[in-house]
Amino acid sequence: MDYLKILHENPDLADEFDSLFDFFLLDELSPRDEADGRCTFSLPGMAFARDGSGGEYHLLEDGSIGYYSSEGEVGRLAESMDDLFSLLVSCICWHDCCDAKEYVDSKTLEEYGQRQRNCNLEDMDVGSLQRVSEALGIQTSTGLAPVLERFRKATQREPLYQCIFHEDDGSLTESYGLMFE
């Protein structure tokens, strides 16, 4: 499903999506924030959304989705837009699902995902979540373990999505891992 198109064509839905998931959709694909030319990314891509802290979601050349945080963390989040939107809507806050020790088996992972999701639901307009979920055709009642397993695999797939920061003294600093570190 073309989630970006749906959000572009329905600004109210896009606003509601942003309010729920801190995901501000850009008007069009845009050059990534390269910190005034001081960042070099390992894979070609374009920005398509930002979060409230200045982090960016990147559509990478191979169709996978990368993320660049305002703190300089970089990594791949998903293999496709479908996987990204499933992660966002199902888990609510993917940042809360990065504890590697919880990814030991499907049962443990499902319980972990549900705990994280339930914590996030406490501060959320559940009616708004239901409207967004229905409008995008993403079920929130399905198991979280498969969604989280796809997330973990995407973060670890080679080639890794990374950034090299060019320091004032001419040295290079590699971005540190975004997830599971």
User: Which of 160, 154, 33, 163 lies closest to 86, judged by CA?
Assistant: 154
User: What confidence score (pLDDT) does residue 34 get?
Assistant: 78
Mean pLDDT of 63-68: 96
Per-residue exposure over 21-52, b if at least 16 CB sit within 10 Å of its own CB, e if not: bbbbbeeeeeebeeeeeebebbbebebbbbbe
Task: Copy the structure tokens of residue 35.
Answer: 């910190």
DSSP-H helix ranges across 1-105: 3-9, 11-21, 81-91
Strands laid side by side in the 172-174 sheet: 39-41, 163-166, 172-174
Whether the full predicted model's pTM is greater than 0.75, yes or no, is: yes
Round the average pLDDT of the chain to a whole number and report it.
92
- Average pLDDT on 144-148 reads 96
pLDDT exceeds 80 at position 128: yes
Task: Evaluate if residue 181 carries a pLDDT over 70.
Answer: no
pLDDT surpasses 80 at 135: yes
Rounded CA-CA distance 113/118 in Å is 8
Return the H-helix or E-strand segment holding 156: helix 145-156
- Tens of pLDDT, residue by residue over 15-54, are 999 999 999 999 999 998 877 778 899 999 999 999 999 9
Q: pLDDT (tens digit, 9 = 90+) per residue, 84-123?
A: 999 999 999 999 999 999 999 999 999 999 999 999 999 8
Adjacent-strand bridge partners of 66: 58, 76
Tokens at residue 149, please?
Answer: 């397993």
